[in-house]
């Protein structure tokens, strides 16, 4: 597998209106969403999310809403003012037609581009990530 990132100045996505930064993350609710996500995906083994990850001042917790209900979240680790990593995304899949996974990623590209970031790192180069503008495989950094 290869690691990937998005070159944000090669994107032009719009910021959604159904999200917000969770400055006081509802940890129990986020963990329930994560459990539902893992069950839906039928993951055999997953890395747990620790409370400290939600509370890390270097990590943005973004909540996504549908019908005024929190249904998804992203954890975005900021390494500096240019580089951030999508550490974890999860949603409850109550309504899979929302296609929230891909829409949230496009939203995060728009949000972090607007904040002046250069790259949004995505981890492994899963096929769905390759459809995002600015996608590239990460090589040795120069």
pTM: 0.92
Q: Which tens digit of pLDDT belongs to each residue from 54-64? A: 999 999 999 99
Domain regions of the chain by residue span: 13-117
pLDDT at 138 over 70: yes
Q: How many CB atoms lie within 10 A of CB 140?
A: 4
DSSP assigned state of 31: H
Q: Which tens digit of pLDDT belongs to each residue from 80-127? A: 999 999 999 999 999 988 889 899 999 999 999 999 999 999 988 888
**CA 100-50-124 angle, 5° bins:** 50
CB-based contact 73:94 (threshold 8 Å):
no
Distance between CA 74 and CA 121 in Å, rounded?
Answer: 13
pLDDT at 2 over 90: no
Domain 13-117 falls in which CATH fold?
Aminopeptidase (3.40.630)
pLDDT at 142 over 50: no
Mean pLDDT, the chain, whole residue set: 94
Average pLDDT, integer, range 56-79? 97
Q: How many CB atoms lie within 10 A of CB 108?
A: 27
Find the DSSP H helices in the chain.
27-41, 51-55, 100-114
């Amino acid at each position: 597998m290869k690691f990937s990132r998005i070159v944000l100045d090669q994107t032009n996505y719009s910021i959604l209106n159904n999200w917000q930064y969770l400055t006081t993350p509802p940890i129990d609710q986020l963990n329930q969403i994560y459990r539902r996500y893992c069950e839906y995906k039928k993951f055999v083994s997953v890395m747990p999310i620790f409370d400290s990850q939600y509370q890390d001042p270097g990590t943005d917790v973004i909540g996504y809403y549908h019908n005024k209900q929190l249904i998804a979240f992203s954890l975005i680790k900021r390494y500096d003012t240019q580089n951030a990593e999508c550490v974890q995304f999860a949603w409850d899949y109550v309504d899979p037609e929302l296609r929230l996974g891909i829409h949230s990623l496009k939203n995060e590209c728009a949000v972090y581009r607007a904040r002046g970031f250069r790259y949004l790192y995505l981890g492994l180069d899963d096929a769905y990530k390759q459809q995002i503008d600015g996608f590239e495989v990460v090589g040795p950094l120069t």
